[in-house]
Structures are given as structure tokens and as C-alpha cells.
């Protein structure tokens, strides 16, 4: 009779522990394999972390696994090591972190089958038969000649590079009994032969300076103005990795709109890349993950979660727009993809490249500490520099659907010169406030402490936080007054107004409401790419790395709301957004202009934006952060609680504070709270927070290491739950 072995498993539960089960000693049990495990009265999926012949528990109480799901491990040793680091650094439940590293398709008990691909080969070639196709069927001849050159055969992806309509051609050749196919494991296809664009002097110098440091781990920050050619640097680096037989992870903050980037990568690397983002189905994302894991593609191009793509020969990680807030995951497992990527590169001893025209203050500070290597690109390949920001004071100006008369004059001048105009307004919907002017009633969300936004096209009021919606009332629910009005402006109303004012000019709106429709979004992008005069209205989505050379004017509306924000990061975010949006203009053969409409032109930040570069403003913001003891000169850990009642959330945090207070060195920290969160009620639950701040990271970790074992015992329930956020983004 075989003796059982004892194995540790990670299960996706909000518990700070792993689980032990017994295995048949004849099971080879590769680490990283999924098993079905008995759990309470049902079963759960677990990932094997390790096995041994002894256990600290009573063997009679240890349950036997139900079955093994995978023949091969779905997580390799490196990914398990990375998950252990994440669980330790971010103080997250280890099982949930392990499953974060898997594609959603594999987080249950679905079987994992390594995908095979068809590969077509010539049968014993008859030169006469092939030559006879030259005139009779040129497309078949073309395929046969390609197969002659590649004796190992060609996959569907490779055949598509030769002829986009390859399938009927191959079927005809099969009917002639001239070729056959067989199943093979995929491999990286052949790169297309393309003429590389000529590099600018700045790009060439940057690559020459970076080259000697690419053989091992180092963090490289490319600080280049908008339109300076950072993407071409990335593509050259990727090509070098390919030449060395290595693969690359290429992260972008937003991929739904980056058709240009996808086409640029396809032109340079053919179909040797996979795409992964939240707009795809779980199956599509799993297939992309599997193709990259098997080495069928050399590039994983995607958003934050693509960082966890695994392969045997990763040689480079690229993070474009590294400053972007979307790299920070704010719910579930809380982590920052940029920081985890740096740790992953360090573990693998490979280089990582960060790029941005407006780097985060954290990255700039790391460059000052010489932790990162910094490279600057100060010139565009075109002869025009990025436009300087110009303030338009609208305090004494007539405003129509959010635009002042001087802004209209500027728009009309650029349209008359056949330019395209970008109007940035970071507020979707028709109007942000709906209220009764008689009694003061406002349309508020039933589940959040937020106003409902009017979406006129859908004739509904919508909460942008929880998705709650209701029909627009015909009269005031409080006083029955028949005149309920809306105030403020969103992109929907701005679009309607500009269409009325400029009926002969296409007005294109791109925001989350439009991005959900691929057809509508694709049509708008095609109109932009045509270069014909038009007006583009957009939210934060359009400020991320798009390159449309025909845009000659960028207009930023309603930037004033950020001047009085309660967030200490508001000034940094505003400066980044304005420089990014202004940089969309003047990328072609004409100079660009950028205007910011404001009612507070004398505000110090507005004056700084007018006169200084982003780098100068960033240095001033860093000095300000240092004086206040804010990140990056301090570390922040936030305990968050949510409950059915606010009192219960505060009580939970009081318990946590008491456990923290008895530790050594607690008095060396700054502890703020417990207190209600800025948005106290969200999705029907009340939220509170407890904040720890310290300029000495070792003090902070000492307090947490002493207190977390006891804090982890405070179970979350349906009434009250808690979470910890290490390196919290906002206080």
C-alpha cells in the first residue's frame, strides 16, 4: 500500500494561509499544477505549491485530493516565486495572489490543453508541376515557392503573411495532392522584411547609451516629450530581443483605442505577437497567454494583467506611459503593475524600459537617487516642437455648451486651414447635475454618495460608479415642480452643441459610451486617420499615446476642477494630463497650438503650466511633497473597511488600530483615522479608512510584521470586510 504525501495548495480565498491535503505518493505532483480539492461540502480548485512526506497536522484529519486537473504545470517556478513576493510585499492573501497570475479561463477547473497548430508542407516536390502553376495559378505558385524555401512548413499565420486569402489557395493545392498538413507545437514565425525608418540623432544617441546596459537587470526610463519617437525605440529594442531568441512583454495603459500601435507592431513583426486586454473574452485571453507561453509569438502586447504572461525566455519588459494611473489595481489584489514588473525583471536579471512624456514623480525621484537610468528625448522628428500651453480666461466671456467665444474663434481658424481639432473634456454623459431649482432636490444615486449623470441619448440618469440607472423624472419627486433642470456639461452635450454650430464638419466623440461599440469606434478612428478636417471630442481615453498628424489644435475644457481637489496627487495628474493632451497637436507637417480654458488664470499651477516645462513643474511638486512628508518621500499603508453601516466599518478599523498600537515603534508612525472615506457610501456599502505614514520604510514594515498575524485573524463577513493597501495611491 502506497503511503500518502502531504501537499500545500493555494486556494483563491481571502485568507492568509495555504491548505494542506494528501497526495498519492505515485503522483509525480509537479509544482504549479491545479487539483480539485474537497472543501467544506463541495470542491475548490487549488494550485500545488509543494509536497513533503511529513505534516505538522494530524494525518487522520488531512483530506485526500479529488483529482489532478493538469498534466503539466500551469504556473512555473518563477511565477510562483513572484506571487510569493507579491503576497509578502503587498500583504495580500497568498491564494488570491497565485490565482491572479493565471488567466481567468484557468482559475476554475477547466482543463488546460496546450494548443497545437497546423503546419503545411510540400509533398515530394515535382519541379515541373510547380513551374506549371506559374502562369496558370500565380497564387498557388507563390505558396509552393514559399514552402520550398521553408522545408519545416508554414503555419496559418505565416501563410497569411504571404497571401491574406491563403485558405482557398491551400485547399486547391491539397486537392492537387501537392501538399499536406500535420499538427505541430507553434514557434515564432518569420519576421517580415521591412525598411526601418531613419532614426533621429537623439534616438540614435539614446540607443547607443542604453545598449551596454541591456545585458542584465536595470531600469531604464525614457523621458521623451510627446511625439519624440519613444515607440520606435521600443520596436528597435524588441527586434534586438527577437534576434537573441527572446520574448518581450509590452504593456500599455489602454489598448482598446490603440489601433495605430497594433498596426505598427504588425507591420514590423507580422503576426508574431498576441494581444490581451479586458475587452476580450476569457477564452481569447487564455489563447493569447498560451501562445506566448509556448513561444508561438514573441510579444505579449496588453494592459496591466498581461504582466503575468509567462514564457521560458523572457528578455525584456516595456511599460509605455508608465505614469498612468490604470497600472494601479485598486480592487481585489491591490498592486502596481509597474513596480511588480520591475521586481519580475530583477528576478529574471533582464532589463525593463519605462517610457513617458510626463514621468511619475516616483520615477523621477528614483532617477535622482540613481536607482533608474534616465534618457531624454527633447526633440520631435518633425520640425515643430510640442505646442506651449496658452490660457484662455473665460471669467467675463459668454460660454456656450462649455466653450468661450475665444475658443470658438480658435477652432474656426484651424478648421478653415483644414486642420483637425481635439477638444478634451473628462466628463462623459450629457450633464453631471440634475436638480429642481424650486426646492433644491438633486438626482442622487441610491447606492453611492454621488450625483447621477444625465445621459440624454438613453433618456436615463446613470451612476458612473455602480452602474445604477433610472428614467429621467418628468417632474420633481419632492415638490412636483414640472421643471427639472440640468447643470454642467459632459461630452454628449458638447458633441450636440458643436454639431449644431458646425453642421458641415464631422464631430467625433470618443469616450467609454462609444468605445463599447467596435463598429462606431472604428468608424471614428478611420475618419481621424483620413486627415480630413474634423472635431474630436474625448475624455481621458484620448490622452494616451495616440498619434494623429492632422490635429493642429488641442483644447482643454474644465481643467479647473482639479485645482481644488482633496487629493495630494491632483496637481501632478493635472500637469500630466494637460501636457499629454496638448502634445496630441502639431505632430505632422504643421505647427500645433494648445489652449486651456480657465476661470482661475492667476492660480499658481496655471501660471506654472503657462511658463514652465513638465520637468520643471515636477521638480517643484517633488519639493512640495518632501516638505509635507508625502510620497515618494514617505510610504503609505491604508487599511480600508466597508460595511452595511458606517459605524461597523469604523469599529473594524478601531480593532485594527488597537492591534497596531501595541507594537514596538508604533509611535514613530503617523496614524490618521479611522475616518470615513472621501466617498463614504459606494455600491450600497459604507467605507472608512485608517492610514499609516512613515518616512522610514523599515519602521513601517516592523510594525506591520508584528501586528499582521493578529490582524489576519479578523475575519471579513458579509456585513463587514477589510482590506490592506500597501503603497496606497491616495490618502
Between 34 and 567, name the one with better pLDDT: 34
pLDDT at 2: 52
Q: Is the confidence at residue 256, as pLDDT, over 60? A: no
Sheet containing strand 460-462, edge to edge, reads 453-455, 460-462, 469-471
pLDDT at 12: 93
- Residue pLDDT, tens place only, 283-333: 888 989 998 998 888 999 999 999 999 998 999 999 999 999 999 998 889
Between 445 and 111, name the one with better pLDDT: 445
What pLDDT band is residue 519 in, cutting at 50, 70 and 90? low
Closest to 663 in 3D by CA, of 709, 725, 694, 631: 709
Q: Is the confidence at residue 103, as pLDDT, over 90? A: yes
Q: Is 180 helix (H, G, I), strand (E, B) or coil?
A: strand
Residues 6+ apart with CB under 8 A from 404: 392, 394, 397, 398, 597
Measured from the Cβ of residue 223, the count of other Cβ atoms closer than 10 Å reads 24
Q: Measured between alpha carbons, how far apart are the two ends of the chain, in Å?
A: 60
DSSP E strands in 259-415: the ranges are 273-276, 299-302, 314-320, 328-329, 335-336, 351-356, 373-377, 389-393, 399-400, 403-404
What pLDDT band is residue 1 in, cutting at 50, 70 and 90? very low
Q: What is the mean pLDDT of residues 33-58?
A: 88
What pLDDT band is residue 56 in, cutting at 50, 70 and 90? confident
pLDDT at 3: 57
pLDDT at 383: 73
| Measured distance CA(72)–CA(46) in Å, rounded | 14
- Residue pLDDT, tens place only, 70-87: 888 899 999 999 999 999
Q: What is the mean pLDDT of residues 162-183?
A: 87
| Measured distance CA(592)–CA(586) in Å, rounded | 4
Which residues partner with 275 through β-bridges? 301
DSSP E strands in 166-236: the ranges are 179-184, 218-224
Q: Is 373 helix (H, G, I), strand (E, B) or coil?
A: strand
Q: Is the confidence at residue 97, as pLDDT, over 70? A: yes
What pLDDT band is residue 249 in, cutting at 50, 70 and 90? very high
Q: Residue 41 is placed in which grid cell?
A: 461540502
Q: Is the confidence at residue 461, as pLDDT, over 90? A: yes
Return the ∠ at Cα 226 (arms to 606 and 429), rounded to 5°: 65
What pLDDT band is residue 483 in, cutting at 50, 70 and 90? confident
DSSP string, 671-728: EEEEEEEEEEEETTEEEEEEEEEES-HHHHHHHHHHHHHHHTTS---SSEEEEEEET-
pLDDT at 591: 85
Q: What is the number of H-type helices and E-type strands within the chain?
A: 21, 34
Helix 201-210 vs helix 230-243: angle between axes, to the nearest 10 degrees? 40
3-state per-residue secondary structure call for 484-527: EEEECCCHHHHHHHHHHHCCCCCEEEECHHHHCCHHHHHHHHHH
Q: Is the confidence at residue 182, as pLDDT, over 50? A: yes
Percentage of the residues of the chain whose pLDDT score is greater than 70: 95
Residues 6+ apart with CB under 8 A from 415: 421, 502, 505, 533, 535
What pLDDT band is residue 399 in, cutting at 50, 70 and 90? confident
Least confident of 253-262, 496-505, 533-542, 662-671: 253-262
The residue to which cell 510569493 is assigned: 84
Which whole-number Å values give the CA distances from 335 to 26, 165, 546, in the listed order? 39, 44, 26
Percentage of the residues of the chain whose pLDDT score is greater than 90: 49
What pLDDT band is residue 116 in, cutting at 50, 70 and 90? low
DSSP 124: S
Closest to 632 in 3D by CA, of 691, 565, 697: 697
pLDDT at 176: 87
| Measured distance CA(399)–CA(396) in Å, rounded | 9
User: At residue 238, what are phi and psi to the nearest 5 degrees?
Assistant: -65, -45
| Measured distance CA(464)–CA(615) in Å, rounded | 33
Q: Is the confidence at residue 364, as pLDDT, over 80? A: yes
Q: What is the mean pLDDT of residues 482-490?
A: 87
DSSP string, 603-630: SHHHHHHHHS-HHHHHHHHHHHHHHHT-
pLDDT at 479: 87
Q: Is the confidence at residue 451, as pLDDT, over 70? A: yes
Do the Cβ atoms of 486 and 436 come closer than 8 Å?
Answer: no
pLDDT at 295: 85
Q: Is the confidence at residue 405, as pLDDT, over 60? A: yes
What pLDDT band is residue 189 in, cutting at 50, 70 and 90? low
Helix 259-269 vs helix 230-243: angle between axes, to the nearest 10 degrees? 30
Do the Cβ atoms of 299 and 117 come closer than 8 Å?
Answer: no
Closest to 543 in 3D by CA, of 340, 237, 221, 323: 323
Q: Is the confidence at residue 156, as pLDDT, over 70? A: yes
| Measured distance CA(315)–CA(217) in Å, rounded | 10
Q: What is the mean pLDDT of residues 96-103?
A: 95
What pLDDT band is residue 516 in, cutting at 50, 70 and 90? low
Amino acid at each position: 500500500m502506497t503511503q500518502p504525501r502531504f501537499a500545500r495548495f493555494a486556494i483563491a480565498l481571502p485568507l492568509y494561509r495555504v491548505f494542506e491535503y494528501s497526495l498519492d505518493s505515485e503522483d509525480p505532483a509537479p509544482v504549479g499544477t491545479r487539483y480539485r480539492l474537497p472543501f467544506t461540502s463541495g470542491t475548490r480548485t487549488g494550485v500545488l505549491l509543494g509536497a513533503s512526506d511529513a505534516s505538522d497536522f494530524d494525518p487522520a484529519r488531512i483530506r485526500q485530493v479529488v483529482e489532478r486537473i493538469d498534466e503539466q504545470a500551469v504556473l512555473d517556478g518563477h511565477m510562483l516565486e513572484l506571487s510569493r513576493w507579491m503576497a509578502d510585499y503587498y500583504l495580500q492573501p497568498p491564494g488570491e495572489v497565485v490565482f491572479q497570475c493565471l488567466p481567468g479561463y484557468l482559475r476554475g477547473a477547466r482543463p488546460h490543453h496546450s494548443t497545437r497548430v497546423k503546419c503545411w508542407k510540400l509533398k515530394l516536390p515535382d519541379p515541373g508541376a510547380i513551374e506549371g502553376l506559374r502562369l496558370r495559378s500565380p497564387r498557388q505558385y507563390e505558396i509552393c515557392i514559399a514552402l520550398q524555401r521553408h522545408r519545416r512548413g508554414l503555419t496559418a499565420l505565416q501563410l497569411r503573411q504571404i497571401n491574406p486569402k491563403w485558405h482557398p489557395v491551400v485547399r486547391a493545392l491539397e486537392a492537387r495532392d501537392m501538399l499536406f498538413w500535420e499538427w505541430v507545437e507553434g514557434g515564432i514565425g518569420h519576421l517580415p522584411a521591412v525598411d526601418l525608418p531613419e532614426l533621429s540623432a537623439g534616438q540614435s544617441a539614446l540607443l547607443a547609451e542604453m545598449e551596454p546596459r541591456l545585458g542584465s537587470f536595470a531600469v531604464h526610463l525614457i523621458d521623451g516629450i510627446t511625439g519624440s519617437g519613444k515607440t520606435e525605440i521600443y520596436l528597435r529594442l524588441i527586434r534586438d530581443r527577437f534576434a537573441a531568441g527572446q520574448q518581450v512583454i509590452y504593456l500599455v495603459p489602454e489598448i482598446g483605442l490603440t489601433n495605430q500601435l497594433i498596426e505598427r507592431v504588425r507591420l514590423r513583426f507580422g503576426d508574431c505577437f498576441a494581444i490581451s486586454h479586458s475587452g476580450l473574452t476569457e477564452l481569447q485571453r487564455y489563447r493569447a497567454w498560451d501562445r506566448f507561453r509556448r513561444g508561438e509569438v514573441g510579444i505579449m502586447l496588453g494592459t496591466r494583467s498581461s504582466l503575468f504572461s509567462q514564457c521560458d525566455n523572457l528578455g525584456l519588459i516595456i511599460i509605455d506611459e508608465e505614469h498612468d494611473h490604470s497600472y494601479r489595481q485598486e480592487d481585489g489584489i491591490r498592486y502596481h503593475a509597474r513596480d511588480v514588473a520591475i521586481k519580475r525583471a530583477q528576478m529574471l536579471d533582464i532589463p525593463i524600459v519605462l517610457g513617458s512624456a510626463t514621468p511619475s514623480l516616483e520615477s523621477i525621484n528614483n532617477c535622482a537617487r540613481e536607482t533608474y537610468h534616465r534618457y531624454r528625448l527633447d526633440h520631435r522628428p518633425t520640425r515643430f516642437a510640442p505646442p506651449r500651453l496658452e490660457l484662455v480666461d473665460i471669467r467675463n466671456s459668454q460660454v456656450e455648451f462649455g466653450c468661450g467665444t475665444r475658443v470658438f474663434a480658435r477652432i474656426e481658424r484651424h478648421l478653415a486651414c483644414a486642420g483637425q481639432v481635439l477638444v478634451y473634456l473628462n466628463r462623459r454623459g450629457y450633464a453631471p447635475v440634475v436638480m429642481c431649482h424650486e426646492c433644491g432636490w438633486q438626482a442622487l444615486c441610491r447606492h453611492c454618495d454621488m450625483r447621477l449623470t444625465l445621459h440624454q441619448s438613453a433618456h436615463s440618469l446613470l451612476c458612473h460608479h455602480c452602474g445604477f440607472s433610472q428614467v429621467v423624472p418628468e417632474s420633481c419627486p419632492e415638490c412636483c415642480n414640472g421643471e427639472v433642470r440640468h447643470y454642467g456639461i459632459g461630452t454628449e452635450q458638447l458633441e450636440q452643441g458643436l454639431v449644431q454650430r458646425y453642421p458641415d464638419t464631422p464631430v467625433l466623440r470618443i469616450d467609454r459610451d462609444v468605445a463599447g461599440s467596435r463598429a462606431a469606434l472604428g468608424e471614428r478612428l478611420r475618419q481621424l486617420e483620413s486627415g480630413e478636417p474634423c472635431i474630436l471630442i474625448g475624455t481621458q481615453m484620448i490622452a494616451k499615446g495616440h498619434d494623429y498628424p492632422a490635429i493642429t489644435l488641442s483644447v482643454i475644457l474644465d481643467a479647473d476642477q482639479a485645482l481644488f481637489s482633496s487629493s495630494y496627487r491632483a496637481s501632478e495628474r493635472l500637469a500630466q494630463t494637460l501636457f499629454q493632451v496638448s502634445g496630441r497637436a502639431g505632430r505632422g507637417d504643421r505647427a500645433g497650438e494648445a489652449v486651456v480654458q480657465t476661470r482661475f488664470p492667476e492660480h499658481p499651477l496655471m501660471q506654472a503650466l503657462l511658463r514652465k516645462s513638465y520637468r520643471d513643474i515636477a521638480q517643484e511638486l517633488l519639493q512640495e511633497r518632501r516638505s509635507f512628508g508625502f510620497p515618494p518621500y514617505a510610504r503609505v499603508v491604508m487599511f480600508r473597511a466597508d460595511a452595511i453601516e458606517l459605524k461597523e466599518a469604523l469599529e473594524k478599523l478601531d480593532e485594527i488600530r488597537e492591534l497596531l498600537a501595541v507594537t514596538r515603534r508604533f509611535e514613530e508612525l503617523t496614524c490618521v483615522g479611522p475616518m470615513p472615506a472621501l466617498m463614504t457610501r459606494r455600491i450600497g456599502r459604507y467605507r472608512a479608512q485608517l492610514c499609516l505614514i512613515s518616512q522610514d520604510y523599515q519602521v513601517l514594515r516592523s510594525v506591520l510584521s508584528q501586528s499582521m498575524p493578529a490582524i489576519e485573524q479578523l475575519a471579513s463577513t458579509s456585513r463587514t470586510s477589510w482590506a490592506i493597501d500597501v503603497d496606497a495611491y491616495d490618502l
